[in-house]
Amino acid sequence: MRQYRIALIPGDGIGTEVVDAAWQVLAAAAARHGFALAAEAFPWSCAHYLAHGRMMDADGLERLSAFDAILLGAVGWPATVPDSVSLHGLLLPIRKAFDLYVNARPHRLLPGVRGPLRAEDFDLLVIRENTEGEYSGAGGRVHVGTPHEVAVETSIFTRRGVERVLRHGFEQARRRSGRLASVTKSNAQKHTMVFWDEVTEQLAAEYADVQCTRYHVDAIAARLITHPASLDVVVASNLFGDILTDIGAAIQGGLGFAASANVNPGGGVPGMFEPVHGSAPDIAGRGLANPLATIWAGALMLEHLGEAAAGAAIIAAMEAVTGAGRVATPDMGGRASTAEVAAAVAAALADG
Ligand code: NAD
Ligand code: IPM
Ligand code: MN
């Protein structure tokens, strides 16, 4: 039987609740589609940091490299550990160490889900550069605490880094609607963003069959609200993609729906799959979290592992549940718990 080794990193807050929920659905999908998922859970989190002084074990990345994929809940508990410590100790090093340069985030409304917009027929794939740019980590502070203090955070864009993520975007556009939007702020940032525009134009010449449009990030942020259906594949830098995908989440009904695949296509490394949302301290520990973002991330994981039919079956099961509208968490307007929504999706999977 085909078997995949999955590293589970539930993390903090609702991360543990949504990973439990998603695992229930993934196990049901595996049973139905004739493969096995072997999970190993890692307790890496802010609680782990407080107990051991590290977000993950010293050999954590090496251990993760032996898995076929990683399913992560959320990292961060700012009441006890600063985000600058927790995220740089766990989530961001995984993206970087495995060179997971594509962060793909689909945004569309599931049946029965009401978004905040009048336009409801959008189907977006935002591809976020995931290893460099504004998240390079280069910089520092001098004259700390004095009136002369200066803080610098340097964005680093390499030709290899920009070209490979844009190329992935063009390939996806070719497979989808043939439309690609490339996002910069080249009217204000004259080095990095002008460079990104140049690489975009070079690839646009190569992919003449793809209709490529360049947008400034402020303009496309507005367009995502006013005319989301005019967009299809959107490629953006690390920080711009981060912000645009919270807009994407908002217009698809909220952060409880938005999934994320961190991958290095063809790279022979484990991909990391996670919801777009964080640990949601305001609702954590009460069974209120919507698990669909993480369940959707699980579907993306199966697709990436080559189990496309099982991934599609999970999406269909989610659609059956949202379409019926009976089992829904509070953010969806219902009263069901995280576990009840997961159970409903698993049941729909068994019926489907
Ligand atoms: P957040 O995404 O955790 O929460 C924002 C809002 O969305 C909250 O009101 C929350 O209740 C709601 N929400 C989020 N997920 C939900 C779900 N599944 N169902 C229903 N409602 C949901 O963002 P934040 O409050 O800015 O961050 C909290 C912590 O999480 C911080 O430490 C932050 O750095 C971290 N964070 C981690 C990740 C990650 O691990 N990938 C992503 C974003 C934020
Ligand atoms: C996300 C998150 C992370 C990011 C944070 C928690 C570092 O917001 O995955 O969207 O900015 O990449
Ligand atoms: Mn984000």
| ipTM associated with this complex | 0.99
Please check whether residues 18 and 44 belong to one and the same domain.
Answer: yes
> 48: Cβ below 6 Å to ligand 1?
no
In a domain, 207, yes or no: yes
pLDDT at site 177: 95
List the one residue out of 350, 279, 31 whose CA is nearest residue 342: 350
Is pLDDT of 236 > 90? yes
pLDDT at 171: 98
| 246 and 122 co-located in one domain | yes
Three-state DSSP class for residue 148: coil
CA 8 to chain centre: 15
The answer on pLDDT for 352 being more than 90 is no
Q: Is 91 within a domain?
A: yes
Listed residue (47, 51, 70, 50) closest to 60, CA to CA: 70
Together in a domain, 223 and 292: no
* CATH number of the domain to which 5 belongs: 3.40.718.10
Q: Is 290 in the pocket of ligand 1 (CB under 6 A)?
A: yes
pLDDT band at 65 (very low <50, low <70, confident <90, very high): very high
Q: Indicate if 81 and 143 belong to the same structural domain.
A: no
Residue 288 lies in a domain: yes
Q: Which residue has the tokens 């740089």?
A: 88
Rounded average pLDDT over 87-105: 98
Instruction: Provide the residue range defining the domain that includes 211.
Output: 116-251
- Ligand 1 contacts CB of residue 327 (under 6 A): no
Ligand 1 atom 8 nearest Cα: 280
Residue 260 lies in a domain: no
Q: How far is the CA of 88 from the centre of ligand 3 (A)?
A: 14
Residue 120 confidence (pLDDT): 84
Give me ligand 1 centre to Cα 93, in Å. Answer: 19
Element containing residue 1 per DSSP (H, E): none
Check whether residue 233 and residue 269 sit in a common domain.
Answer: no
Choosing from 9, 72, 91 the residue with most ligand 2 atoms within 8 A of its CB, the one to mutate for a pocket test is: 91
User: Is 101 assigned a catalytic role?
Assistant: no
- Regarding the beta carbon of 255 and ligand 1, being less than 6 Å apart is answered yes
Q: Which of 49, 101, 135, 207 is catalytic?
A: 135
Q: Which atom of ligand 2 is nearest to the CA of 260?
A: 9
Contact partners, residue 344, CB within 8 Å, separation at least 6: 321, 326, 327, 336
User: Residue 254, SS3?
Assistant: coil
- Residue 151: the pLDDT is 98
Ligand nearest to the CA of 277: 1
- Residue 330: pLDDT over 90: yes
Q: Whose atoms come closest to the Cα of 96: which ligand?
A: 2
Domain boundary (251, 286, 304) is at: 251
> For position 351, what pLDDT does the model report?
85
Is 53 among the domain residues?
A: yes
Task: Compute the radius of gyration of the chain from its Cα atoms.
Answer: 20
In the chain, which residue ranges form alpha helices assigned H by DSSP? 14-33, 46-52, 60-64, 83-89, 91-97, 159-175, 192-206, 217-226, 238-251, 292-304, 308-324, 338-351
Per-residue model confidence (pLDDT) at position 119: 82
Mean pLDDT throughout 147-162? 98
SS3 (DSSP) at 151: strand
Looking at the fold, whether 189 and 159 belong to one and the same domain comes out as yes
At 96, the pLDDT band (50, 70, 90 cuts) reads very high
Q: Are 40 and 131 within one domain?
A: no
**Average pLDDT score over the chain:** 98
Asked whether residue 287 falls in the same domain as residue 196, the answer is no
Contacts of 318 (CB under 8 A, 6+ apart): 110, 292, 295, 296, 299, 345, 348
What share of residues in the chain are helix, strand, coil (percent, to 5)?
45, 25, 35
So what's the pLDDT on residue 134? 98
Residue 296 forms part of a structural domain:
yes
| One domain, residues 120 and 247 | yes
Residue 132 to residue 145: CA distance in whole angstroms: 29
Residues 60 and 2 in one domain: yes
Question: 182 in ligand 1 pocket by Cβ < 6 Å?
Answer: no
Does one domain contain both 190 and 75?
A: no
Q: How far apart are the first and last CA of the chain?
A: 22
Answer whether 331 contacts ligand 1 (Cβ < 6 A): yes
| 135 noted as active-site residue | yes
- Please pick, among 57, 123, 185, 197, the residue that the annotation labels catalytic: 185
**Closest ligand 1 atom, residue 293 Cα:** 18
Please tell me the predicted confidence (pLDDT) of residue 199: 98
Calpha distance 71→19 (Å, rounded) = 8
Nearest CA to ligand 2 atom 12: 242
Is residue 185 annotated as part of the catalytic site, yes or no? Answer: yes
Side chain identity at 310, as an amino acid letter?
Answer: A
Helix, strand, or coil (residue 139): strand
> Minimum-distance ligand to the CA of 274?
1
For the segment 298-327, the average pLDDT, to the nearest whole number, is 98
In a domain, 109, yes or no: no
Q: Span 9-26, mean pLDDT? A: 98
Which of 198, 228, 251 is the last residue before a domain boundary? 251
Q: Can you give the pLDDT at residue 58?
A: 96
- Whether the pLDDT of residue 26 is over 90: the answer is yes
**Ligand that lies nearest to the alpha carbon of residue 287, given by its number in the listed order:** 1
In a domain, 270, yes or no: yes
Active site residue 246: yes
Q: Count up the domains in the chain and report the number.
A: 2
Task: Supply the pLDDT for residue 258.
Answer: 98
Same domain, 147 and 241: yes
- Last residue of a domain, which of 251, 274, 289? 251
- Band (pLDDT 50/70/90 cuts) for residue 282 is very high
Q: Is the CB of 280 under 6 A from ligand 1?
A: yes
| 173-207 pLDDT per residue, tens | 999 999 999 999 999 999 999 999 999 999 999 99
Residue nearest (by alpha carbon) to ligand 2 atom 5:
87
Report how far ligand 2's centroid is from the alpha carbon of 259 (Å): 12
**Amino acid at the residue 273:** F
H/E segment holding residue 282: none
Residues in contact with ligand 2 by the CB-under-6-Å rule are 87, 91-92, 242, 276, 278
